[in-house]
Chain A
Amino acid sequence: MFIGVPHTSIPALEPRFHRVGSATVPAQAVYLAATNKNVLAALNPSEGNIVWRRQFEASDPIVAFKANQDGLVSLSGNGGATVRLYEVINGKLIWEAHLHDANSGRISSTPAMAGTALEFDTVDVYVLSNGHTIRRLAGATGETLWGYTLPDMGSSTTLTTLTRTQHGLYALGLTTNLRGYTLTVLSFDPDTGLLRAREDLPSTTLAGPQDFVVLKQGTVTPDGKVALGHTAGLVWLEDGTVKEIFLSPGLEGKFMARVNVKKHGPYTQIKGLGVEDKGFFLATLKGKESEQADGSAHIYRMEVNGMGLVKMTDFEPSTDKPYVVYSGGIDRKGHSYISKLAHSSRMKVASYEVFAPVAVNGRGMSTGFTFEYDATTHGAMEFAAIDVVNTSEYVYASRLIISTSTGIIQQYAQETHKWSREESLTDVRAIATVDLPEPSVEAHMVYGNLSESPIERVLRQMKELKVLPAFLFRFFQRFATGRYANPSSPSAATSNNAAAMTSNVGTDGLWRDTYGLKKIVVMATGTGKVFGIETLKGKVIWSIKLGAGSPDLSMKIKPIRMVVLKTASEGFHPEVGLVVEVEQMSPTGEWTTTTGMIRIEATTGASESTIMFRGSVLEVVELDVPVAYQSVNAGIGKKMVGMVDRDQKMHIFPHHEDAVAVFNKISTQASFVLHTGPPTQRALQGLKLSPWVASEPVTNDPNYVPPAPHWKSHSTWRTSFAPGENIIDVVRSATALTGIPPASHGRVLGDRTTLYKYENPHLIAVLTESHVREETSSSSPPRTQCSVYLLDSVKGSFVYSTVIPAARDSLKGPKVAGSASACEVKMSLVENWFVYHYYDDDAHGIGARGWRMVSVELYEGGANVKTRSGELAADSPNRMEVTPIEQTYIFPYDVKALAVTSTKFGISSKDLVVINGKNQVQTYSRRFLDPRRPKGPLTAQDKEEGLVQYDILLPDDPRRVASHEYPLLADSLLTTATQLESTSLVLAYGLDLFMTRVAPSGSFDVLSPEFNKIQLVLTVLGLGIAIIITRPLVKGKIRKGKWYY
């Protein structure tokens, strides 16, 4: 369970500690965060577990949240369309209020100018939305008590902040003018919403909304309710100095205080840090030597009466630690603290300094410590929240929760590290699964480079005899109770074996288990971390930060594609290759992009990187090397990776001499597909490689470096979509990706004829969106239309195409902010089976309205027509002879991801795996998705073929929900095969990581989990006892019988 990487750059969304209860009642603390996955979550700050979480719709992004006592208010949607009140302790929704239609909401380019704010009254909530509307909502029901809209709605004034004090409610905003922004202040009567005064401060010039902070000072507690601020003041940064005015209900106070610039400053930033409600703020200074801040800052406090600013203390510059994070915190008693965290990219230590203004009778005191922090694995710190406890006089204990650039959330209690959450696992960009090597003795010998003489072997085996009783015990235990559904038993025995063998080798038992269910999933995340996760228990075995060797923490590494370079069968260290784009700031201050290849050992995480070329990569192609050319010694495995640069040239990896020689032999077979054309008219283009001629230029230059080998390509085909037809999605055939060939080439029907499958691993499914006008009337507005095509990627010819209605027509209904496309079609393609899912709103009222699942099977022709499509050359004319059979079903839910199970040999039927709209992983049997299901009653032949009568509704069987009752937030699926033909592993990722196994045709190659071993054992025992008892009886009878004869 994950929550996502918290937003830290926008003050309204910054994570924060929140304490429920007062100074007298035992408090319960939570750490609230809004994340990039649009999740609002509460973590337990001492353990790091999720207390609760809520995922918002993609069209409903969280823009602000604020907690007060036991309530948490969230504001979400464009311009703050929806307000929700939650119980802060358990996340239960109390009410939901919709302020305006989300698609008429204001969309701001800068999040700070979103024009949304939340403020609490004693019970009620004030909400600012769309930059000009203020409402007071009743805390109990969410009803609007009053509302106010700024009259000049289209004007240049945008309100951004709300502040409530005992005397009034103030709204602050910015008015744009030519030089920048000027401040605008409005004062309201909080009970009626009456505008008391409006004051524009035309003389002020601000760079942006981040340059002003509203301070509050003192608290007033009206009859035991929630405290309100006593006075409020406004501070802003202007020309390097800080100015302040006092806010009064009539806005008549023109008193302005300013900081002496000559004495202090110039300042570059002012920050409230969450302690602005206590009258504090922090102003950072310009560095002495360079333009950039060097970590020195001053802390100011507003006077109790709101008149004037007092400098409390300053943080010294820290030149050796350039990464600085400031944070503020409020303790249980309501005292404020401001801290500074600093670390460098090299030294594995971070320093922490906290200033307690109340200490020493209000003169303030700083304490601090240093703790171990490794920036090469966790990246730069980006945010910290502090929670300080004043245990005794002069003793201030802190706990910090930090967020870093790699997406980890870590908690430190003083200098000890308590917990970490790797939230970057919610942002998987590239993924691959690898098998582990088998735990045979030979493997151990090779793995551990062991060589032993016969005597040594006998001695070792004697030693191992001592584990024999344990082994026997385990064996019988397994015999009696072990089952397939519970993998720990068989693997325990294996790992026991392996442990005995590996104890002197020093590996950690990373061996394949009996059924091959234990694998390693390598995931590369958007924050530049790579994880190796073992599939049986889901444990992270290793993690590395890409670019860890570089001192430059600002370098961005974007994973593009992961390819399995070496499998366990080719050597004991399976390897994956990760294609990355590296964005780096050059000394001249420009961002440059380089494409590189990182080889990662899947069992240990050891990595080695190679720079391929400058610029970004257009496409990554996996090339199969024929067996004849593979050689372990020359370092040429089953796969080569081709990367296409902007000039449509292909670079290969590995690219040493032998590999280049091999590649020259196979380069003519390589083909790939690119998206080309201007953004409005994208086209698909098929390309082939031109043979590379390695010509050595004649040169005497000793510094001459021959260019890295690359191959030019030429275009072979180009799709002709209609003008304005936009490519939304391209899905490759799962057969090509997994490399599992079809187990059968045809389908035998009830009358003993065969339908031969159309086998073409180069098939791709393309989804396009276009706007069409009806022929009859050119005046009617264009309609969105989605098209699905199946395309032969070698030849560029269409195999199948269909037009489906757009689920979200651009003319009606709100647009989804997250997805630009109106075509929400999910597709999956394997062998000759193509499934897609879409919503049919039945605009013409002909059929039923709902989600549709269409199943298409491609055959070479009618019964017994065989063109051997799998073996045909790409340019054969027969390749185009395809007969699709399709049928449409009504699907009960929305679908977030579609996948098809994959098994070792592809013999088991292929079930459809979906993540449905209820956040469950569910499987659907291929039998029900069969496009040959007869519409009429079943005939004997149909029955023989195993067909089920057609029913437009797909059965929704809750027993096929693999995720059971666990709520699962994920949007992608990956299926892999195991050593058991019956079983396929399914990994759901996106936010949570969920791994399960499914047996599409039933677990026919292992005993079913229902198989009752005890019953079998007892029955055998019972029969045995019966024989023992009856044998003497029978013998006696025979003897007696003999006596008579």
Chain B
Amino acid sequence: MVHFHVRLAYLIGSLAALIQAVDIKGTIVPNEILKDIKSLGATKVVLDDGRRSGAVTRNGHFHIPHVEPGTYILQVLAPQYHFEPLRIDVLESSDLPEVRSYTPGTPLDPPSMFTLPYPLTLQARRKLDFFVPEASFNILGMLQNPMMLMMGVTALAVLGLPYMLKNLDPETMKDINESQQMMAKMQNNLDLSSGLSGLLSSAAQAAQGEVGSGPKPASNNKGKAKRR
């Protein structure tokens, strides 16, 4: 029954449409995205499924004739630009249609509270980009790669650290050695007091202890010094 009423209403609407049909007019205006209307290409403005349409002239004007009362979704089919769709309500009582913004995929009701001015002025929202930018060879780009940066830092450290140590004051050198030994000691203490795993491994350490892993950093330092 409800359907029937809807249909009846529609019928009456379409009968009224024969008496009153509105022409929808508007203009596509240039903006910073679409600087020149001439670059728009063959574009048309369609209502709903394209039964009603108007071509865009070289000045950006369009004109959709004989639109019956009802609700329509207006789309601009431009091959290279994106335009926001609009909701157009053609009223039986007025020759001025109501214009609202419309988000695709949302129900038509309830309509948005804000209406837009008529005649329509449309602006391109986005230029469509069909191409995926091709990766080109770039030494800088290659060096900016994080892996490369890490590699570079490591290489610097490996090559630069011995020279740095060499050029340091003997006193500071001593300080560093001392602090290193301190650290090593602390580490050893931590190792011993590091709970269960430390206890478990203590036996193994005790076995190895005789071989003399004790103040390892010191021996390491010795080794280094010797080599130099």
Contacts and interface: CB of A to CB of B under 8 A. Distances in A.
Interface of A: 54, 57, 59, 84, 87, 92-96, 98, 101, 774, 776-777, 780-781, 783, 807-808, 811-814, 816, 824, 839, 841-851, 890, 892-894, 917-920, 952-953, 958-959, 961, 964-965, 967, 1009-1010, 1012, 1014-1015, 1018-1019, 1041, 1044
Given A96-B63, A958-B129, A843 B10 contact: yes
Contacts of B21: 101
A94 B130 contact: no
A98 B128 CA distance: 32
A468 to B, nearest CB: 30
Given A846-B107, A965-B79, A959 B132 contact: yes
Given A92-B58, A844-B6, A1014 B14 contact: no
Contact of A850 (B104, B131, B226): B104
A94 B105 contact: no
Given A953-B105, A965-B130, A93 B48 contact: no
Contact of A917 (B3, B50, B56, B57): B50
- Grouping DSSP codes into helix (H, G, I), strand (E, B) and loop, the A interface class, with mixed when no group exceeds half, is loop
Contacts of A816: 51
Interface string B21-63: 1010000000000000010011000101111111111100101
Contact of A847 (B68, B107, B129, B137): B107
B226 A811 contact: no
Given A93-B57, A96-B57, A894-B49, 18 more contacts: A93-B56, A93-B58, A95-B57, A95-B61, A98-B66, A811-B11, A812-B68, A842-B108, A848-B108, A849-B48, A849-B73, A850-B73, A953-B104, A959-B132, A961-B128, A964-B130, A1014-B137, A1015-B137
Given A958-B130, A967-B79, A812 B10 contact: yes
A842 B50 CA distance: 15
B78 interface: yes
B109 interface: yes
Contacts of A845: 107-109
B50 A87 contact: no
A559 to B, nearest CB: 31
A780 B137 contact: no
A920 B130 CA distance: 11
A135 to B, nearest CB: 14
Nearest to B17: A812
B227 interface: yes
B65 to A, nearest CB: 4
B210 interface: no
Contacts of A894: 49-50
Contacts of B66: 98, 101
A780 B7 CA distance: 9
Given A98-B63, A845-B109, A850-B104, A839 B49 contact: yes
Q: Tell me which of B8, B79, B107 has the highest count of chain A C-beta atoms within 10 A of its own C-beta.
A: B79
Contacts of B48: 839, 841, 849
B223 to A, nearest CB: 11
A93 B55 contact: yes
A919 B42 CA distance: 10
Nearest to A920: B79
Contact of B51 (A808, A848, A890, A1014): A808
A143 to B, nearest CB: 12
B27 to A, nearest CB: 13
A84 B8 CA distance: 37
Contacts of A1015: 137, 142
Interface of B: 1, 3-4, 6-8, 10-11, 14, 21, 23, 38, 41-42, 46, 48-58, 61, 63, 65-66, 68, 71, 73, 77-80, 104-109, 128-132, 134-137, 142, 226-227
A774 B132 CA distance: 52
Nearest to A892: B104
Contacts of B142: 1015, 1019
B67 to A, nearest CB: 10
B79 A98 contact: no
Given A54-B42, A96-B57, A774-B3, A964 B49 contact: no
A958 B51 contact: no
Contacts of A1019: 142
A59 B46 CA distance: 14
A780 B8 CA distance: 8
B16 to A, nearest CB: 12
B108 A964 contact: no
Nearest to B79: A918
Contact of B55 (A84, A918, A1041): A84
A774 B106 CA distance: 28
A57 B4 contact: no
A326 B209 CA distance: 116
5 contacts: A774-B3, A848-B105, A917-B50, A958-B130, A1012-B137
A1044 B108 contact: no
B198 to A, nearest CB: 37
Q: Tell me which of B4, B38, B48, B136 has the highest count of chain A C-beta atoms within 10 A of its own C-beta.
A: B48
Given A96-B63, A777-B4, A958-B129, A1009 B134 contact: yes
Q: Tell me which of B11, B49, B104 has the highest count of chain A C-beta atoms within 10 A of its own C-beta.
A: B49
A121 B226 CA distance: 108
B130 A961 contact: yes
A1019 B128 CA distance: 36
B14 A812 contact: yes
Contacts of A811: 11, 14
Contacts of A844: 3, 6
A884 B48 CA distance: 30
A1009 B3 CA distance: 56
B49 A918 contact: no
B17 to A, nearest CB: 8
Contacts of A1009: 134
A304 to B, nearest CB: 41
Nearest to A816: B51
A101 B109 CA distance: 30
Contacts of A1044: 226-227
Nearest to A54: B42
A682 B105 CA distance: 37
A1012 B73 contact: no
A967 B108 contact: no
B195 to A, nearest CB: 35
Contacts of B52: 813
B80 A1010 contact: no
B152 to A, nearest CB: 13
A961 B79 CA distance: 11
Contacts of B4: 774, 776-777, 780
Nearest to B57: A93
Given A93-B58, A918-B78, A967 B42 contact: yes
A918 B41 CA distance: 11
Nearest to A954: B105
Contacts of A87: 58
A890 B71 CA distance: 18
A93 B80 CA distance: 18
The 5 A-B residue pairs with the shortest CB-CB distance, nearest first, are A98-B65, A958-B128, A92-B58, A839-B49, A964-B130
Nearest to A1016: B137
Nearest to B66: A101
A961 B129 CA distance: 9
Contacts of B8: 780
B25 to A, nearest CB: 11
A969 B147 CA distance: 48
B41 A967 contact: yes
Contact of A964 (B10, B41, B50, B131): B131
Contacts of A850: 73, 104-105
B51 A813 contact: yes
A776 B227 contact: no
Nearest to A93: B57
Contacts of A776: 1, 3-4
Nearest to A1017: B137
Contacts of A952: 105
Contacts of A812: 10, 14, 68
